Amino acid sequence: MMNLKDILSPFSAWRNLLKEPVTIKDPLTERPGAPRYRGFHKNDIEKCIGCGTCETICENEAIDLVAVANVDTKNGDSGLRPLVDYGRCCWCALCVDVCTTGSLTMSNEYTWVSNDPEDFRYIPGVDKKEWDNNDLGWKKPDYTLIPTERMDMEEMEPSEREGTFLEIVRGYSRAQAEKEADRCTECGLCVATCPAHMDIPGYIRAVREGDMEEGLRLLYETNPLPEICGRVCTHRCEEVCAVGHSGDPLAIRWLKRYIADQVPFEEYKRILGITSIEENGKKVGIIGAGPSGLSAAYYLRIRGFEVTIYEAKSKGGGMTMYGIPKYRLPMNMLESEIGFLEEIGVKFVYETRVGEDISFDEIYKKHDAVFVGIGFEKPYKINIKGEEQKGALQAISFLDDINKGKKVDIGKKVAIVGGGNVAMDAARVARRLGAEVYMLYRRRVEDMPADSEEIHGAYEEGVQIIPQTIPVEIIGEGGKVKSIQYLMAEMVPDEKGGRPKPVPIEGSEQVLEIDTLIGAIGQEADYGFLPQEYLDKIETNRGRMLVDNNNKTTLDKVYAGGDAVNKTADAISAIADGHRAADAIERMLLV
Amino acid sequence: MENFNSPQEIINFAIQSEQEAHDFYIELAGLVKFNELKVILEQFAAEELGHKTKLSKIVVDTEKTGLTAESVLDMKMADYTVDIQTKPDMTYQDLLTIAMKKEKKAFKLYTDLAQKITDQNIKEIFLGLAQEEAKHKLRFEIEYDEYILRDN
């Protein structure tokens, strides 16, 4: 029931009718905003990565990403910073809430007088303001608009892995993939970092929308080996993922694999629109069927080139076929992708080693262009005493034998020398064969060049890593490896700022009894196939061929890519090389 | 053991050693198949000539030789790597191994000479030369560490 107060109280406001407004009576007294007021924007320029998620979410289009002085574009940072337009902003703070790094905040300042309307378009953090050091105001809240945890990938338990080469990673279901894809902000920082510049936000969107055919088309625009990359890519894209600044980065590699796994190979031609190829009459010879050669072959073939790949081994894939263990990359995936290339007309000449079964000169003369993708297949020796004995193996040939299905007797105790991905593969394969495995690495575990997930996998599977060890002699008995002697190393800082140097500690000798020693310290290219007259014209730097921006070598009409060219030594860089060379060969021969 | 009667004779001996090292690298450059390695060997050779010139400028009739004893990092790679035979298809790994072992031998030679001589001035000259060789060896060891042992 209504009482008298309810009736009279609205009229009490009339008492203020003749009073002067507070803004006229007391214009200069500051009235601070509430501690969490959404006032003017601030931005921590060092923390900001210019991902543009703030710009995307702004309903009023009040934010533009612009280039600013003294901030350079680098991996994981677009070099752009948000400019805010207060003619449009409604201070809803969604930009702050969604900011992937938490760099964008709002102060609780809300008064700003200026006669120049341009002043109200400014770059927070760059255009200095008096509220820049004001700690109060609105900050990224505890809740998050982007889920921080990635969708778990189901894996085979470490205890189940001994004795089997079945694939460890099971792959996402549709629901899992779509949920993971939902976390992507489509900022595109990953595109710049990916050596092949794949349209990552595009194919993740295709996953989200359930359009696998569009996803496959987007993958093949820049990468004709998505099954391979979806499993073993070094995924540098994930290292720069904006979402990774406040949680787990997107599982980009697994999403790529998800798309490739969904589409049957027999549908590829139709989906990719390669139903007929118009021949252009030009011939390209490719040496080596590794990722760079296969990539060059695909992009050349779909443009009408007659492409022939010369491969020394009996199957294509290069290191991905012979070097990567099948628990990481099942052979049928590789064979299917290579089969698709055969289906569109790429000719494979297997078991033909250039320089032995066919001369380089012949290939050079009968093709309009040549692509060299020979990889790094010649291992560096450890170069210590005793390496010539039985039981001292090289990781590359060990992995090759295992992938070919050969039986390799490694005994019960194995030492691996090295700390890169090849060493990890050798160690994990040796564990699967039931051996007790020790890894001798000269530096600290954190210095290992292997991917962190490989190191993690090795630990999970029981590989014992002995860091800061310098092998000095392989001791044998009757011509067979018996033990390895090593020295412990101390890490001495490099005066010039390089990696700390491992220096042996005198008197720290240790001996490890072993049955097999596997060297995995690195590889180099084998140029034995090149006659001297060509060798003289191909410039190299520390064993890698020098190429220009088109992947052209210093030898006329010869292009090159993959490990024998780039230092990153991964499949995705090789694929990018092949694509770039194919574009350049097309320009050279057809334009 | 060489017998030296004066500091100048030591310097002359060192100069001759550097010339021999230069000739060795030039000979090797004529042997290898790769242009890149030829260029590197010619660089090595040029550096040995540089050392020779540096030694030639030392004025031995004063007490100062311009060579100072300082501690140089020894990664000891030359100690445990095996000897390499020179051959036409030598690799970069082979060249670096040969070079660091050669520098190690030179270091050891000068250090041994210094130990066996009582004249303080001459001793210092030897130790100074040994330090120079140690620096050259470290350079090759760092190169080996960075490019050959990149996965180790």
Q: What is the DSSP string of A191-224?
A: HHHSTT---HHHHHHHHHTT-HHHHHHHHHHH-S
What does the pLDDT read at residue A314?
A: 93
Question: Do A131 and A50 form a contact (C-beta atoms < 8 A)?
Answer: no
The distance from CA A174 to its chain's CA centroid, rounded to whole angstroms, is 23
What does the pLDDT read at residue A179?
A: 96
Question: Do B56 and B15 form a contact (C-beta atoms < 8 A)?
Answer: yes
Q: Give dist(CA A304, CA A233) in Å, integer.
A: 29
Partners of residue A449 in chain B, C-beta under 8 Å = 150-151
Q: Collapsing DSSP states into helix, strand and coil, what is residue A19?
A: coil
- State the burial class of residue A286 (Cβ atoms within 10 Å of its Cβ: 0-12, 13-18, 19+): buried
Partners of residue B83 in chain A, C-beta under 8 Å = none
Task: State residue B22 phi and psi, 5-degree precision.
Answer: -55, -50
Question: Residue with structure tokens 């490739």?
Answer: A260
Taking an 8 Å cut-off on Cβ atoms, the answer to whether A521 and B36 are in contact is no
Question: Do A428 and A461 form a contact (C-beta atoms < 8 A)?
Answer: yes
Cα–Cα–Cα angle for A461, A462, A463, rounded to 5 degrees: 100
The beta-carbon neighbor of B82 closest among A383, A422, A522 is A383
Q: Give dist(CA B135, CA A395) in Å, integer.
A: 34
* Average pLDDT for A430-448: 95
**Residue A23: pLDDT above 80?**
no
- Ranges of residues in chain B with a pLDDT under 70 are 1-3, 58-70
What does the pLDDT read at residue B69?
A: 57
From the candidates A380, A485, A494, A509, which should be mutated to test the interface with B, based on the most B CB atoms within 10 A? Answer: A380
* Average pLDDT for A238-250: 96
What does the pLDDT read at residue B59?
A: 61
Give bridge partners of residue A334 from the DSSP assignment.
none
**Residue A66: pLDDT above 80?**
yes
The beta-carbon neighbor of B34 closest among A383, A521, A535 is A535
Widest distance between CA atoms in chain A: 112
* Average pLDDT for A403-416: 94
Domains located in chain A, CATH noted: 18-122 (3.30.70.3270), 158-270 (1.10.1060.10), 282-375+538-590 (3.50.50.60), 379-492+500-522 (3.50.50.60)
CA distances from A49 to A149, A280, B39 (A): 20, 45, 43
What does the pLDDT read at residue A1?
A: 66
Choose from A7-21, A399-413, B29-43, B56-70 the range with maximum mean pLDDT.
A399-413
Residue A147 DSSP one-character state: -
Cα four-point dihedral sign A569, A573, A575, A577: negative
Helix A291-301 vs helix A331-343: crossing angle, to nearest 10: 30
Q: What is the pLDDT of residues A134-156, one digit of tens each?
A: 999 999 888 888 999 999 899 99
Nearest CA in chain A to B138: A501
Nearest CA in chain B to A490: B75
Nearest CA in chain B to A533: B33
Within a 13 Å sphere around the CA of B97, how many CA atoms are in the beta-carbon half?
Answer: 20
The CATH code for residues B7-62+73-148 is 1.20.1260.10
How close is the nearest chain B Cα to the Cα of A524, in Å?
9
Interface residues from chain B to A (CB-CB < 8 Å) = 33-36, 73-76, 79-82, 84, 89, 91-93, 97, 142, 145-152
Partners of residue B84 in chain A, C-beta under 8 Å = 383
How close is the nearest chain B Cα to the Cα of A572, in Å?
19
Question: Do A288 and A574 form a contact (C-beta atoms < 8 A)?
Answer: no
Q: What percent of chain A has pLDDT over 90?
A: 85
How close is the nearest chain A Cα to the Cα of B35, in Å?
6
The beta-carbon neighbor of A504 closest among B36, B76, B92 is B76
The token duo for A510 is 């240790």
Q: Which of A238, A254, A250, A258 is nearest to A147 (CA)?
A: A250
* Average pLDDT for A73-95: 96
Q: Give dist(CA A515, CA A520) in Å, integer.
A: 17
Beta-carbon contacts of residue A152 (< 8 Å; ≥ 6 apart) = none
Question: Do A473 and A392 form a contact (C-beta atoms < 8 A)?
Answer: no
Strand A283-287 and strand A306-310: pairing?
A: parallel
The token duo for A76 is 């994981």
Taking an 8 Å cut-off on Cβ atoms, the answer to whether B81 and A384 are in contact is yes
Other Cβ atoms within 10 Å of A383 Cβ, number: 20
What does the pLDDT read at residue B149?
A: 87
Partners of residue A532 in chain B, C-beta under 8 Å = 33
Taking an 8 Å cut-off on Cβ atoms, the answer to whether B148 and A380 are in contact is yes
**Residue A448: pLDDT above 80?**
yes
Q: Give dist(CA A254, CA A167) in Å, integer.
A: 14
Q: Give dist(CA A317, CA A289) in Å, integer.
A: 6
**Residue A180: pLDDT above 90?**
yes
- State the burial class of residue A155 (Cβ atoms within 10 Å of its Cβ: 0-12, 13-18, 19+): middle
Q: Check residues A45 and A28 and name the one with the higher pLDDT.
A: A45
What does the pLDDT read at residue A310?
A: 98
Averaged confidence pLDDT in chain A: 94
Run of H or E including A287 = strand A283-287
**Residue A126: pLDDT above 90?**
yes
* Average pLDDT for A351-378: 96
Q: Which of A301, A316, A315 is nearest to A346 (CA)?
A: A301
Residue A446 DSSP one-character state: G
- Burial call A190-229: b when 16+ CB within 10 Å, e when fewer: bbebbbbebbbbbbbbbbbeeebebbbbbbbbbbbbbbbb
Q: Check residues A579 and B98 and name the one with the higher pLDDT.
A: A579
Q: Give dist(CA A312, CA A526) in Å, integer.
A: 13
Taking an 8 Å cut-off on Cβ atoms, the answer to whether A442 and B147 are in contact is no
Q: Give dist(CA A325, CA A421) in Å, integer.
A: 11
Taking an 8 Å cut-off on Cβ atoms, the answer to whether A521 and B73 are in contact is no
* Average pLDDT for A110-116: 90
* Average pLDDT for A341-364: 97
What does the pLDDT read at residue B68?
A: 57
Task: State residue A385 phi and psi, 5-degree precision.
Answer: -60, 140
What does the pLDDT read at residue B67?
A: 54
The beta-carbon neighbor of A383 closest among B35, B81, B92 is B81
Q: Collapsing DSSP states into helix, strand and coil, what is residue A383?
A: coil
Q: Give dist(CA A380, CA A418) in Å, integer.
A: 11
- pLDDT band at residue A279, thresholds of 50, 70 and 90? very high
Residue type, A494: D
Question: Do A293 and A394 form a contact (C-beta atoms < 8 A)?
Answer: no
How close is the nearest chain A Cα to the Cα of B19, in Å?
26
Residue A249 DSSP one-character state: P
Question: Do A574 and A566 form a contact (C-beta atoms < 8 A)?
Answer: yes
A vs B: CB pairs below 8 A: 88
Taking an 8 Å cut-off on Cβ atoms, the answer to whether B35 and A543 are in contact is no
Radius of gyration of chain B (CA): 16
Q: Collapsing DSSP states into helix, strand and coil, what is residue A345?
A: coil
Question: Residue with structure tokens 């500690």?
Answer: A505
Residue B66 DSSP one-character state: S
Taking an 8 Å cut-off on Cβ atoms, the answer to whether A540 and B36 are in contact is yes
Residue type, A7: I
Q: Collapsing DSSP states into helix, strand and coil, what is residue A452?
A: helix
Run of H or E including A8 = helix A4-8
Question: Do A464 and A474 form a contact (C-beta atoms < 8 A)?
Answer: no
Residue A270 DSSP one-character state: H
Taking an 8 Å cut-off on Cβ atoms, the answer to whether A524 and B93 are in contact is yes
Taking an 8 Å cut-off on Cβ atoms, the answer to whether B151 and A536 are in contact is no
What does the pLDDT read at residue A121?
A: 97
Q: With the CA atoms of A207, A210, A213 and A217 taken in that order, what torsion angle do they form, in degrees rounded to the nearest 10?
A: -30
Radius of gyration of chain A (CA): 30
In sequence order, what DSSP letters do the residues of A490-551 get, joined into one string?
EEE--TTSSSPEEEEPTT--EEEE-SEEEE-S-EE---TTS-HHHHTT--EETTEEP--TT-
Partners of residue A420 in chain B, C-beta under 8 Å = 150-152
How close is the nearest chain A Cα to the Cα of B107, in Å?
18
Run of H or E including B141 = helix B120-143
The distance from CA B71 to its chain's CA centroid, rounded to whole angstroms, is 16
